[in-house]
Structure 1
């Protein structure tokens, strides 16, 4: 049902944009018919990012719904905000075109992107919250009736698969095959082994070579005969006259769009090296689009100009998602942080790319040059964006990992503060009371403390217990905590009381007393 809500959000945005823009007197042109395919792809992308955030949040057993929703918006809300703003600004730049059809298209689509973003926050997020309540109450997704746990039904039957279920404990319990297996293949066979990394470098060099060659030979000018039938008299005339047709300063438009994306990246990702990496990735993708436009027999014209301006905004999306994931995961090992980051962002990226390609695939059936060229350019944008986010960019971040790590200096044993923190928080073994938990928990505000302790201990906070009278104290654990505020690291410890339930297994925890040095 959440899938339907996620698909309905961009549809509502499209309807709102058509009504609002038409109400102010802007005419609907034929090229605006492409807008729904574009906005649905953007909306589905945002949905996958939000769903990835809620799947990554602490389980319902270890945290409240409010904490899970807060976690989702903290992690995924920033990502969809960045991509929505970059897309909106790209269309804003396109709206300055002197061509009426292009201007109207960008206005309609920009307003649709804005409404789509609002619907993600005020329609899809409440739907996710309602689904969380349904899941906690163990109700069926369709009938909303109470269901039994799958462990309570012994035999495999249709009733077991359709009318039973369990509360998800981790991300793997809610991932689809399209999320799980493509990223596992990329991690195990391409990103992890040395041979895979070498193959990625070779492919990237071939990509750059082909892109530069195509970009150098790319022709500028609109071939008017592409707009009419091959049998038209105007077709023959346009072939003769095409050398005299003038176009807008296309490169200037793309340059302005690139500069705007750079500024937005600085505002939302205030890490100089990350901003540089995203910018270089964007230039690489645009070079590939220019180059392969020549290979695909497209010219640099007023028609493809709008597609290129749009591609600037779209090219940022996948790169921002993988960089944002790299900034939020915690580990001190290169291969581990690469695996964690791609495991977090890889699924949504593959899902978004696949759904977007499905959306534009129908444009291939059109006989219109405008629609065909749009479909080709968007295919290049999504394909190269996926290629960079899944292969090239993770390898670059892996190589530059020492610039981000927080490894201790062996000389003075002091951890150097840095804007990017990567502290590993491994799960606590419920059956091992002797575990020291020496690996520190890192938080940026006091609100995250309970969530992170629950995650580390893999236990529930005592506030979620309905039978506290039946609990017995088993041990007191001292857990190191690092408060990360801007570039300042504050080290301390929290003493935690761990309780067992009537079944003599560790189940709940609570803070034993206040902070101590």
Structure 2
């Protein structure tokens, strides 16, 4: 069988890197110093870090092209903010402070009331701007008076006058969102309540002063208020953004821990008994190379004005793991060269093998991240740009800065100098083959290559033969089927969307407020605006009114909508006209009487009238039992679908400020699938171009799909939602799936062994330890995030843990077993023919022995992403 020749890209690329390696080996100081100068120059870009920080949660965690944003623009244009403040009619969340007071049994008692009054007075006395401005100066107003909390008056009447409070409507006041944990009598009057929520709305046009007041509010409520009967949680309109900004501060201490662990692991895994060929300094500078790459790439992007989102703070952990993995590849290939050759020759051979390998892994990872720029989430775009660029610089610094140090270290080794003291040590002779303090004890005197690590022997003599036994294969297949079943089950349990509470640290006051809100105020959801956009709608015609009522009934028929609570200016106007005997059935009478009614009723903000014509109007539909993310998604879809189907002649639109965040449900799944598909196709193209065997692409596809399904399923079982944060990590899956699968497949199909089992053992022998090294180094780079107080960073750790674990499991267990079951992927007959020719006179084996590598099987250096 003739092997396909697909190395038209790989072969010239390998030759080019061979020349580069020789240049780096000849002029190492140039390639060592120049990257440090460049890093220092671009590192100045961190001066702009504070200016580039983008902590607008709406901008970063909601779709940039979400329909709710265009809906909001329409509301803002047609129903502008009035001087008569109404929280119900805001097109944004507004500027406000809020507190929730909780009593474990019944808050409607005198002691609780007195503490609430005391707390309310304390809030209203908060002063800012050199103590000149108080709440009364900054409050939102209606009829010239501050909008206050009527619930205190209702509590006073209930406690002191035994007045019954109707729920959820008390007169014309909706109190369903002000009193929580309510139990009622049969006549819908309150029997007891556990929580009271109060709002303090501020003006929208004095942002500097109101922000200062809100910060002072947070400070005041965080202090001991000497409250005995009630517990208080609090929140403001700036709390999410402020607490979001504090997330990196919880992670900064972990950086030192992570780098310590990474350096320690790198040093330990590179320790050799030979005190000349010890790779301690090489490992140290490998970690430093990754740090310089982060410094340079981040500085460059900050110079260019790229927004720096908090999620980017997790990127250095990932870059460190990838950088150390590439370092292992370079060291492994260096160790396969002849220690008696000149440094330039050793570097040329190292680059010829290793540089192509890390080029494959770099291209797959960088493309995976840059494809992530297609998503509509700003947080994902920023993370992908910073991480992809950092990986690219990590690659550049590996073949320049780190390669240069490898050459300098090679010169030290060549002169038999101690790795620590740099003093010359004893040169071994025929009687003394080397000891812990002499050169020679750690290399093969026949081939000249450094001796293999004991773990490589373990994979060759013990693990490989054990894995290829028939009963072991059956057991592994059963394990895989269990893995696949659990993954698929988890995918069906997946929930979408990010809980806004998770954007703050775990110990934030925001979390306490959200918990109380969910516990006591989840029964009544938002009042959704139903907007009639058709300016030609005939409001006065009975047929038009009937069509509108039919639409309203479709909304009210849902169990997500409260009955008999719709706020409709049109219904109120018709009742008003019938009560006064007005003729509202023709356009003239309808429009002439409308302005006075809107003025008297306070519903003027619900109708946009221009030149005697209604351009747009709105009705408010109350929702109930919107508790979970699934409820939010279902409610959004139901309202939009109902509005589009029943409002064909009215041009209906639904909107609420919360829809800005709910829009993520509409795009997160489709965008994730889109990114995965596009990235997977890109990975296959790279694999076909740079790995000279087309059958490998089939196994690359299989491994990518298998790992992604596994990560998606088990992340759902690990309480991780599909949102913009986890979407980032699913993109990472693709690159790492290729890293762990493409080269193990190629090592198998290009092996010179006769049988499939022997080919599998050979591939595991060459790649087993490097895969473990790469997996552990990456996990060490992110393990500290498991202790973070932030959901975002813990999620990053969870998914990275799944990606690396499943990827490594596929690389050293599943893929080798599956390959042995499909002999069509083996080129052993072709390989054997070539070996026979070699034995008949070509002496190719002796040439391979002198060069320390196999021309037939490229992956002869023990690398995690082998040297293709």
What is the CA-CA distance between 1:183 and the residue it aligns to? 6.9
Whether the 8 Å contact between 2:696 and 2:745 is mirrored in structure 1 is yes
What is the CA-CA distance between 1:116 and the residue it aligns to? 0.3
In structure 1, the residue matched to 2:761 is: 339
What is the CA-CA distance between 1:441 and the residue it aligns to? 5.2
Counterpart pick for 2:773 among 347, 351, 356: 351
Note the alpha carbon deviations across 1:437-496, whole angstroms, 9 max, x for none. 558555xxxxxx98525259x9xxxxxxxxxxxxxxxxxxxxxx9999xxxxxxxxxxxx
Which stretch of the first structure deviates more once superposed, 169-178 or 80-89?
Answer: 169-178
In structure 2, the residue matched to 1:246 is: 663
Change (3 A) 1:286 1:404: same
Which stretch of the first structure deviates more once superposed, 310-319 or 248-257?
Answer: 248-257
Counterpart pick for 2:512 among 231, 237, 243: 231
Whether the 8 Å contact between 2:460 and 2:761 is mirrored in structure 1 is no
In structure 1, the residue matched to 2:384 is: 106
Give the alignment of 1:202-213 within 5 angstroms: 202-213=478-489
Change (3 A) 1:483 1:330: closer
Change (3 A) 1:344 1:483: closer
Counterpart pick for 2:293 among 8, 13, 37: 13
What is the CA-CA distance between 1:28 and the residue it aligns to? 2.3
Whether the 8 Å contact between 2:756 and 2:819 is mirrored in structure 1 is no
In structure 1, the residue matched to 2:424 is: 146
What is the CA-CA distance between 1:343 and the residue it aligns to? 1.6
In structure 2, the residue matched to 1:42 is: 322
* 2:463 aligned with 1:186: yes
Whether the 8 Å contact between 1:330 and 1:424 is mirrored in structure 2 is no
* 2:546 aligned with 1:267: no
In structure 1, stretches of 5+ residues that fail to align are 416-420, 426-435, 443-448, 459-480, 485-517
Change (3 A) 1:164 1:450: closer
What is the CA-CA distance between 1:406 and the residue it aligns to? 4.2
Distance 2:830 2:354 in 1: 30
Counterpart pick for 2:848 among 452, 466, 480: 452
Which stretch of the first structure deviates more once superposed, 26-35 or 243-252?
Answer: 243-252
What is the CA-CA distance between 1:163 and the residue it aligns to? 5.4
Whether the 8 Å contact between 2:336 and 2:450 is mirrored in structure 1 is no
Whether the 8 Å contact between 1:186 and 1:390 is mirrored in structure 2 is no
Note the alpha carbon deviations across 1:157-204, whole angstroms, 9 max, x for none. xxx534565461269955456666467653243x23222222211111
Note the alpha carbon deviations across 1:6-50, whole angstroms, 9 max, x for none. 111111101101211111112322111101100011111111122
What is the CA-CA distance between 1:99 and the residue it aligns to? 2.3
* 2:603 aligned with 1:323: no
In structure 2, the residue matched to 1:26 is: 306
Note the alpha carbon deviations across 1:305-348, whole angstroms, 9 max, x for none. 11111221222111123234335543333333322222211111
Whether the 8 Å contact between 1:440 and 1:482 is mirrored in structure 2 is no
Distance 1:51 1:276 in 2: 30
In structure 2, the residue matched to 1:60 is: 339
In structure 2, the residue matched to 1:3 is: 283
In structure 1, the residue matched to 2:354 is: 76
What is the CA-CA distance between 1:134 and the residue it aligns to? 2.9
Give the alignment of 1:407-486 within 5 angstroms: 407=829, 415=833, 423=835, 438=840, 451-452=847-848, 454=850
Which stretch of the first structure deviates more once superposed, 82-91 or 167-176?
Answer: 167-176
In structure 2, the residue matched to 1:90 is: 368
Counterpart pick for 1:304 among 714, 721, 726: 726
What is the CA-CA distance between 1:383 and the residue it aligns to? 0.4
Distance 1:325 1:69 in 2: 23
Note the aligned Cα RMSD (angstroms): 3.4
Which stretch of the first structure deviates more once superposed, 321-330 or 285-294?
Answer: 321-330
In structure 1, the residue matched to 2:67 is: none
What is the CA-CA distance between 1:85 and the residue it aligns to? 0.6
TM-score normalised over the length of structure 2: 0.46
In structure 2, the residue matched to 1:118 is: 396
Change (3 A) 1:355 1:74: same
Give the alignment of 1:375-386 within 5 angstroms: 375-386=797-808
Between Structure 1 and Structure 2, whose CA radius of gyration is higher? 2
TM-score normalised over the length of structure 1: 0.74
Whether the 8 Å contact between 2:286 and 2:402 is mirrored in structure 1 is yes
Give the alignment of 1:282-293 within 5 angstroms: 282-293=704-715
What is the CA-CA distance between 1:288 and the residue it aligns to? 0.5
What is the CA-CA distance between 1:402 and the residue it aligns to? 4.7
Whether the 8 Å contact between 2:379 and 2:724 is mirrored in structure 1 is no
Change (3 A) 1:56 1:441: farther
Change (3 A) 1:8 1:230: same
What is the CA-CA distance between 1:390 and the residue it aligns to? 0.5
In structure 2, stretches of 5+ residues that fail to align are 1-280, 505-509, 523-625, 634-661, 858-868
Whether the 8 Å contact between 1:220 and 1:300 is mirrored in structure 2 is yes
What is the CA-CA distance between 1:88 and the residue it aligns to? 0.5
Whether the 8 Å contact between 2:426 and 2:437 is mirrored in structure 1 is no
Change (3 A) 1:16 1:184: farther
Change (3 A) 1:386 1:172: farther
Whether the 8 Å contact between 1:84 and 1:114 is mirrored in structure 2 is yes
